[in-house]
Amino acid sequence: MAYVRTLEHRQKMSAALTGRTLSPEHRAAIAKSNPRNGNAEAVRLGWAKRKGQRTAGKGKPKSTEHAAAISRGRRAYLSSLEHRLALVEHALRVAPGRTEFLDRHGRAHFLRSEDERRFAEQLDRAQLTWWYERDRWLLSTGEIYVPDFCVAAWETYVELKGKQSAHARKARCAMAEGHPVLLIKGHRTLEAVMRLLQEA
């Protein structure tokens, strides 16, 4: 059976811990500010006041001009190709769900999906030389595109996508700009390519 403390018991415990007892007026003010008593606005204003007290020593709020200057600085940072490449490399390193795959030459590749692993195995069985996420292309949209596979014998790049995604859009943009990209979209298309590799 749960032990339920009465109001008098809680008041005695509070007095013992703090060394002082709350006046009836103070207790009434606390009860009034309780959102369960229908006065959530008082609670919101109290939190806003306390937040203002906490940040009072940290400088004035940003003006519109200050916020615009920060936005311009961020845009200038992202417009730098060097910084965008650094962001892409970081995203590739920390991408979750990668599995290590050793090719027939003993090179380690960190693939993103089971389909990519199966495709890499078929490339190895066909004795084809390939690389995974080797190149980076700057598209006309300003985005950086990293194709999945580069197959030397085919002189083309292969992008595997099981469903609609931003990476598939980048692959189509790269194809429109003349880059040799083969977009394998959907499991049926992938299975057909795998059968062709097995027969090769």
What's the pLDDT at 33?
62
Evaluate whether residue 110 is within a structural domain: yes
DSSP assigned state of 62: P
- pLDDT, average across residues 93-99: 76
32 falls in which pLDDT band (50, 70, 90)?
Answer: low
pLDDT for res 64: 78
Q: At 22, is the pLDDT very low, low, confident or very high (cuts 50, 70, 90)?
A: low
The overall pTM is greater than 0.75? no
Report the distance separating Cα 49 and Cα 142, nearest Å.
45
Q: Whats the size of the chain, residue-wise?
A: 200
Q: Quick check: is 42 in a domain?
A: yes
Same domain, 130 and 185: yes
* pLDDT in the model for residue 14: 67
The answer to whether residue 117 scores a pLDDT higher than 70 is yes
Domain tally for the chain?
3
Q: What is the pLDDT of residues 42-79, one digit of tens each?
A: 555 665 665 555 544 455 556 777 777 777 777 666 66
* Residue 149 sits in the same domain as residue 182: yes
- Is residue 76 located within the same domain as residue 26? no
- Please tell me whether residues 88 and 112 are part of one structural domain: no
Task: Looking at the structure, tell me whether residues 42 and 90 fall in a common domain.
Answer: no
Could you please report the per-residue DSSP string of 89-128?
HHHHHH-TT-EEEE-TT--EEEESSHHHHHHHHHHHHTT-
Residues 106, 174, single domain; the answer is: yes
* 124 and 135 part of one domain: yes
Q: Examine residue 58 and state whether it is found in any structural domain, yes or no.
A: no
| Confidence at residue 149, expressed as pLDDT on a 0 to 100 scale | 93
- Domain match, 123 and 195 both: yes
pLDDT tens digits for range 119-149: 999 999 889 899 999 999 988 888 889 999 9
What pLDDT, on a 0 to 100 scale, did the predictor assign at position 52?
Answer: 55
Domain that includes residue 127, residue range: 98-199
Same domain, 92 and 115: no
User: Is 177 among the domain residues?
Assistant: yes
* Burial of 130 from C-beta contacts in 10 A (0-12 / 13-18 / 19+): buried
Residues 103 and 92 in one domain: no
Q: Which of 15-19, 37-41, 43-47, 136-140 has the highest mean predicted lDDT (pLDDT)?
A: 136-140
pLDDT at 115: 87
For the chain, give the mean pLDDT: 76
Segment 149-181, tens digit of pLDDT: 999 988 999 998 865 566 688 888 999 999 999
8 Å CB contact between 145 and 171:
yes
Say which residues have a Cβ less than 8 Å from residue 62's Cβ, sequence separation at least 6: 70
